[in-house]
Amino acid sequence: MELNGIKPSQGAKHAKRRVGRGIGSGLGKTAGRGHKGQKSRSGGYHKVGFEGGQMPMHRRLPKRGFKSHLLKFNAEVTLDALERLGLAEVDLLTLKQSGLVGQMIKNVKVIKSGELSKAVKLNGISATAGAKVIIEAAGGSVA
């Protein structure tokens, strides 16, 4: 292969559509825009969701639900993650340093997902009822 022989693969390049260049081109006169109407005008278009003056879908449907802005400060850690971590005592700082939770996190909860064989003492971290049973069965504690 030589630098002067490099070219795009077959079918990768195609001629640009030249509109408004006479009747023989097939795209003369209205240039593929049809007759009249907003879409035929230069600069004439509408914003996203506009339905020609009809009440748009996003305003016709009822508002529903709520997402707390405090969710970004909460995190979950699985029992499997604690097993892999392999520490005897776990608190928020050790979880942040290990990268299991983000730096902005303030509340962490251990959820029952996976198995735990090592005794783990949790400091300042809550656990679900199922996770608490497994942690205590392995000889750990939730404080």
102 and 42 in a common domain: no
pLDDT class of 116 with cuts at 50, 70, 90: very high
103 and 76 in a common domain: yes
Residue 39 lies in a domain: yes
pLDDT class of 88 with cuts at 50, 70, 90: very high
93 and 61 in a common domain: no
Cβ atoms of residues 107 and 127 within 8 Å = no
Residue 1 lies in a domain: no
Give the domain range for residue 20: 15-65
CATH number, domain with residue 84: 3.100.10.10
Residue 85 lies in a domain: yes
Model pLDDT for residues 41-86, shown as the tens digit of each residue? 999 888 999 998 999 999 999 999 999 999 999 999 999 999 999 8
76 and 110 in a common domain: yes
Mean pLDDT of the chain: 93
Count up the domains in the chain and report the number. 2
